[in-house]
């Protein structure tokens, strides 16, 4: 059976030439490195609609881990919940510092809509129909709202310079239209605002040591495999300067966290 395959262009530089990385490409999926820049990506992703259900389940799981509270049972699950809660508090401390105590903050791929703590005002974009309904209700009660749709599309429906902060937490590795969503974020962000991004770290020691069993590989949901450099490069093309958040741990960290600020223009 012959099929004509059109490979996805590089998400960072839009070049069409890429080279397969065979070790990381279990059939039918093809992880490739760009021939023109240092991006690594899934070059034959399924359509967004096909991902919707899986995506919804994953977000539900993540949101549950982060939103659960009140357990006092000493068990692995309780420990996970405590760790999730600590992460939630630590993150929100940083969000308030960067975006302001009462900042308007957009969470792209917001799941249950619990990530942004009061008194910040939460806005969201969510692909799953069920989770969008939950998020929208929660966010409206706190002065914001949630749009239903794909991040790279829906972000253009907000007014320019609407937000003090935009959060892309475990989202950008799923997005086939990286440049489009970053440009949309640039437009939707106030001049003083910041964009927080957390993605798997393709350059991590773990990935280089354990190779194809690395936890960052998820087929086919992860469509971009960033290093700090490739993330900085794509952000720069969209008009941002990136500051690394997890400076000390990066080489051994399975994730990269950066804060983007709009690059100062000269006018």
Site residues for Zn ion per CB under 5 A: 10, 12-13, 15, 34, 36-37, 39
Q: Which CB, 36 or 83, lies closer to Zn ion?
A: 36
Q: How far is the CB of 178 from Zn ion (least distance, A)?
A: 11
Min separation Cβ 246 and Zn ion, Å: 24
Q: How far is the CB of 226 from Zn ion (least distance, A)?
A: 12
Contact yes or no for 107/97 (Cβ under 8 A): no
Q: Roughly what angle, to the nearest 10 degrees, separates helices 48-67 and 129-140?
A: 50
C-beta of residue 257 within 8 angstroms of C-beta of residue 226: no
Q: Which residues contact 164 (CB under 8 A, 6 or more apart)?
A: 99, 100, 103, 104, 105, 190, 192, 193, 194
Angle at 206 between CA 171 and CA 8, to 5 degrees: 45
Task: State whether residue 16 is helix, strand or coil.
Answer: coil
Nearer to Zn ion, 36 or 192 (CB): 36
Minimum distance, C-beta of residue 230 to Zn ion, in the bound complex (Å): 8
At residue 53, φ and ψ (nearest 5 deg) are -65, -50
Q: Enter the tokens of residue 66.
A: 């982060």
Compute the C-alpha angle 254/34/171, nearest 5°. Answer: 40
Task: Indicate the residue among 233 and 253 with the shorter CB distance to Zn ion.
Answer: 233
Q: Are 33 and 19 in contact (CB under 8 A)?
A: yes
Between 83 and 229, name the residue whose CB sits nearer to Zn ion: 229
Distance in Å, CB of 151 to Zn ion, minimum: 21
Judged by beta carbon, residue 9 or residue 245, the one nearer Zn ion is 9
User: How near is the Cβ of 200 to Zn ion at its closest, in Å?
Assistant: 18
- The nearer residue to Zn ion, 34 or 168, going by C-beta atoms, is 34
């Amino acid at each position: 059976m012959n099929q004509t395959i059109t490979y996805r262009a590089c998400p960072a530089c839009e070049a069409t030439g890429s080279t397969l990385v065979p070790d990381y490409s279990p059939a039918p999926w093809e992880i490739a490195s760009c021939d023109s820049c240092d991006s690594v990506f899934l070059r034959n992703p399924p359509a967004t609609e096909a991902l919707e259900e899986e995506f919804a389940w994953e977000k539900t799981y993540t949101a549950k881990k982060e939103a659960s509270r009140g357990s006092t049972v000493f068990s692995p699950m309780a420990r996970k919940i405590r760790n999730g809660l600590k992460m939630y508090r630590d993150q929100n401390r940083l969000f308030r510092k960067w975006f302001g105590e009462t900042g308007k903050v957009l969470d792209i791929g917001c799941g249950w809509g619990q990530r942004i703590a009061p008194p910040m005002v939460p806005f969201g974009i969510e692909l799953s129909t069920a989770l969008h309904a939950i998020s929208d209700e929660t966010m409206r009660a706190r002065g914001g709202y949630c749009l239903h749709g794909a991040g790279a599309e829906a972000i253009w429906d907000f007014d320019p310079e609407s937000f003090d902060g935009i959060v892309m937490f475990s989202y950008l590795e799923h997005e086939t239209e990286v440049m489009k969503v970053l440009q949309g974020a640039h437009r939707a962000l106030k001049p003083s605002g910041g964009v927080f991004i957390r993605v798997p770290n393709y350059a991590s020691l773990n990935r280089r040591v354990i190779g194809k069993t690395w936890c960052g590989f998820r087929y086919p949901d992860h469509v971009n495999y960033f290093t700090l450099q490739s993330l900085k490069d794509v952000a720069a093309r969209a008009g941002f300067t990136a500051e690394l958040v997890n400076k000390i741990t990066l080489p051994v960290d399975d994730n990269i966290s950066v804060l983007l600020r709009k690059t100062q223009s000269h006018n």
